[in-house]
Structure 1
Amino acid sequence: MQKRPRILIGMAAGLVWAVAVLWIGRQIPVPMAMMQPTLMGAAFGPGVVLALMIGRLAQRRFFVDDTIDGQPLTGGAAIDAKVLQNTVEQVVLALCIWPLVGFFLGAGTVLALGIGFAVARVAFWVGYHVAPPLRAFGFAATFYPTVLAALWVLWRLTVG
């Protein structure tokens, strides 16, 4: 099978995931008074995954003589560095968007976004190591929920 069809399947599955995460999040009854702790809790899962990625990359550098002094990464370490960079980008995006999502779509939505993010990032990480086209699901399943939630907020702001 060619790469593009596999990537498209992963992207489509990520879109289904995004809709499911947002739908499930809207069903979670979290009082608005719990918004701040919920936002902090939602960021915890992505933070743990980020810490695991940073730790794994540090471990790879420490035990490989060719990279211990900061030389360019190769093999699995290079993949881990790419995954880490993309994850940092996704975390920054989420932290910019999720607070307003929580206000307009409810704290439960943000909680679901955080849990879904952590799971999807692990799928991205594993998929990248197994076969690069398989990372499409993990990428889409992380990116699409945040973007769809932002679009939903924009719609609520303009339509009411």
Structure 2
Amino acid sequence: MTTRMTPDELEKERAPGRILGRGPLGFSRRTWPFIKVLVGNWLFALVYYVTVKQFIVTWEPVSWTVADRLELMIKCSILALAPAVVGIAIVAAQRLNPDMWVGQRPKPNSALDVNTRFVLNTIEQFILFLVGLSGVALFAPISEADSIPILTSLFLLGRVLFWIGYHKNPYLRAFGFGITFYPTVGVFVWLILLMAFGIRLPI
């Protein structure tokens, strides 16, 4: 037979959670470092994008036809996928090393295991990035065509930092993941605002 707890008893049960730092949003003290990394991702990506767009890249295509848009998108997509191609080549070579295996599976946290995860994550990220990049190429005016190579450079930087960080410590991959993923989220927000509500923000 179960007994119903009194309000005072419930309060005592909640007390340890409060000591650990859990708040109304369910965050604990262990969560805050990841929140800080998340905010850092946003700030870094924003500062990088604005700085490169305003002060470094001054390129504008001569023409901006459908063929020009498609050409630029394909070129940037090839560059964005280059880390995955390199990773696949490395994984293929590492698979020949018997020390990398435990039975029929890669040894946990081995270079083969990390590189395999990197390749899979990069391909997943690339699918989202490609869809977003296609939307930008379709809807962006010629004056904002430079956003496509800038977004590509940010994607590449994120993948490299993710790869390096993953090999040093799995937690260090978070920053590279963030500056790969969250700019893509920003692109999707831009596209949804434009397509669904007719709101065209500068990009």
Match of 1:55 in 2: 89
Cα distance change on mapping 1:48 and 1:66 into 2, 3 Å? closer
Match of 1:103 in 2: 138
What is the identity percentage for the equivalent residue pairs of Structure 1 and Structure 2?
Answer: 25
Moved over 6 A (4+): none
| Inter-partner Cα distance in structure 1 for 2:58 and 2:89 | 33
* Residue correspondences, number: 158
Work out whether residues 100 and 112 of structure 2, in 8 Å CA contact, stay in contact via their aligned partners in 1: no
| Inter-partner Cα distance in structure 2 for 1:22 and 1:89 | 22
| Inter-partner Cα distance in structure 2 for 1:64 and 1:8 | 40
Given the alignment, which residue of 191, 194, 199 partners 1:156? 194
Question: Which one has a bigger Cα radius of gyration?
Answer: 2
Q: Between Structure 1 and Structure 2, which shows a larger proportion of helix residues?
A: 1
Structure 2, unaligned runs of 5 or more: 1-28
- How many Å apart are 1:19 and its aligned residue? 2.0
Work out whether residues 49 and 121 of structure 1, in 8 Å CA contact, stay in contact via their aligned partners in 2: yes
Question: Aligned pair 1:84/2:119, yes or no?
Answer: yes
SS at match of 1:93: helix
- How many Å apart are 1:50 and its aligned residue? 0.9
Cα distance change on mapping 1:22 and 1:154 into 2, 3 Å? farther
SS at match of 1:154: helix
| Inter-partner Cα distance in structure 2 for 1:37 and 1:21 | 25
| Inter-partner Cα distance in structure 2 for 1:125 and 1:44 | 18
Question: Aligned pair 1:37/2:71, yes or no?
Answer: yes
Q: Deviations over 1:112-143 (max 9, x none)?
A: 11111111101001111111111111101000
Match of 1:15 in 2: 42
What are the equivalent positions in structure 2 for 1:135-154 lying under 5 Å apart? Answer: 135-154=173-192
Q: Deviations over 1:92-124 (max 9, x none)?
A: 111122111223334311111111111110100
SS at match of 1:62: coil
Letter in 2 for 1:63: N
Cα distance change on mapping 1:140 and 1:66 into 2, 3 Å? closer
Cα distance change on mapping 1:7 and 1:77 into 2, 3 Å? farther
Q: What TM-score do you get using the length of structure 1 for normalisation? A: 0.84
- How many Å apart are 1:91 and its aligned residue? 0.7
What are the equivalent positions in structure 2 for 1:63-78 lying under 5 Å apart? Answer: 63-64=97-98, 67=101, 71-74=104-107, 75-78=110-113
Cα distance change on mapping 1:159 and 1:54 into 2, 3 Å? same
Letter in 2 for 1:139: F
- How many Å apart are 1:65 and its aligned residue? 5.0
RMSD of Structure 2 on Structure 1 (CA): 2.5
| Inter-partner Cα distance in structure 1 for 2:138 and 2:86 | 30
- Name whichever of 101-110 and 84-93 sits farther off: 101-110
Given the alignment, which residue of 85, 88, 112 partners 2:150? 112
Work out whether residues 18 and 148 of structure 1, in 8 Å CA contact, stay in contact via their aligned partners in 2: no
